[in-house]
């Protein structure tokens, strides 16, 4: 998959603030997890914003950051390399998670803004793969982004200023069918009144609701609960 060729350079300024509330929910969901002996898998680590947040809330934990996109991965590598603590404990795996040589035992996994890239068949494989590796007291934290396939009018995602350049990110979506949305994203950069850059890109993403995640996960021996924008899963037998 090379779907982030356009988005990658704008990803941090367009999402660091606008996605911060979800990252806070993710760190709350991981808080207190005993992950000292086994790693957490960051599924679709992107540029590493959530990887860094996981590392902050679990300061003794190793992280396996899985990121297949060759345009996102350089930012991830730079973020990890530039921080001695992250460099010591984050491993970057450069392939789709279903093809990755994951550790046989994991304390947990996070899918932050990445489940939309998994088809129903891929999700079924993902839940099984995670359940087989998860410690009895482990946690899987999944962000629900698009529960329904419905038209989304052009919406301003974020604005940021970097030096003298003002950036905007815009998004709209139309249904492909009941399970998929076709997203159109546009990034604009301006110096004063002069537009210096404008780039667009398209993604076809899967929609999934928290209820469907729970149903699918239960079929693979996981169970859990919805909390805010997340579904937090554990081994079915250990879920209270």
Ligand X SMILES: C[S@@+](CC[C@H](N)C(=O)[O-])C[C@H]1O[C@@H](n2cnc3c(N)ncnc32)[C@H](O)[C@@H]1O
- Closest separation in Å from C-beta 75 to ligand X: 10
Phi, psi (deg, nearest 5) at residue 225: -150, 160
Q: Is 25 in the site for ligand X (CB under 6 A)?
A: no
Q: Which of residues 83-142 bind ligand X (CB under 6 A)?
A: 96-97, 112-114, 117
For 119-155, give one letter per residue: b (16+ CB within 10 A) or e: eeeebeebbebbbebbbeebbbbbbbbbeebeeeeee
Stretch binding ligand X (CB under 6 A), from 62-70, 150-158, 163-171, 221-229: 62-70
Strand partners, 158: 169
Q: How many CB atoms lie within 10 A of CB 103?
A: 14
Q: Which is nearer to ligand X, 100 or 176 (CB)?
A: 100
- Which of 41, 66, 205, 233 touches ligand X by CB under 6 A? 66
Q: Which is nearer to ligand X, 11 or 33 (CB)?
A: 11
- Closest separation in Å from C-beta 227 to ligand X: 17
Q: Which residues bind ligand X (CB under 6 A)?
A: 1, 4, 15, 43-46, 49-50, 66-69, 72, 96-97, 112-114, 117
């Amino acid at each position: 998959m090379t779907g982030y060729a356009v988005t990658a350079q704008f990803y941090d300024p367009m999402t660091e603030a606008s996605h911060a509330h979800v990252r806070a929910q993710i760190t709350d969901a991981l808080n207190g997890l005993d992950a000292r002996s086994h790693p957490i898998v960051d599924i679709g680590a992107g540029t590493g914003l959530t990887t860094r947040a996981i590392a902050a809330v679990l300061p003794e934990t190793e992280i396996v950051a899985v990121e297949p996109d060759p345009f996102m991965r350089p930012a991830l590598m730079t973020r990890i390399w530039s921080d001695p603590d992250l460099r010591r404990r984050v491993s970057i795996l450069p392939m789709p998670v279903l093809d990755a040589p994951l550790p046989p035992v994991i304390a947990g996994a996070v899918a932050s803004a990445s489940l939309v890239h998994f088809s129903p068949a891929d999700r079924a494989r993902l839940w099984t793969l995670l359940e087989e590796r998860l410690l009895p007291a482990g946690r899987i934290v999944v962000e629900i982004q698009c529960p329904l396939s419905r038209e989304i009018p052009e919406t301003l995602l974020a604005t940021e200023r970097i030096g003298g350049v003002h950036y905007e990110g815009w998004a709209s979506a139309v249904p492909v069918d009941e399970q998929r949305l076709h997203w159109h994203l546009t990034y604009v950069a301006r110096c004063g009144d002069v537009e210096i850059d404008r780039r667009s890109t398209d993604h076809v993403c899967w929609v999934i609701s928290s209820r469907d995640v729970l149903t699918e996960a239960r079929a693979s021996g996981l169970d859990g609960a919805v909390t805010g924008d997340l579904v937090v899963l554990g081994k079915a037998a250990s879920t209270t």
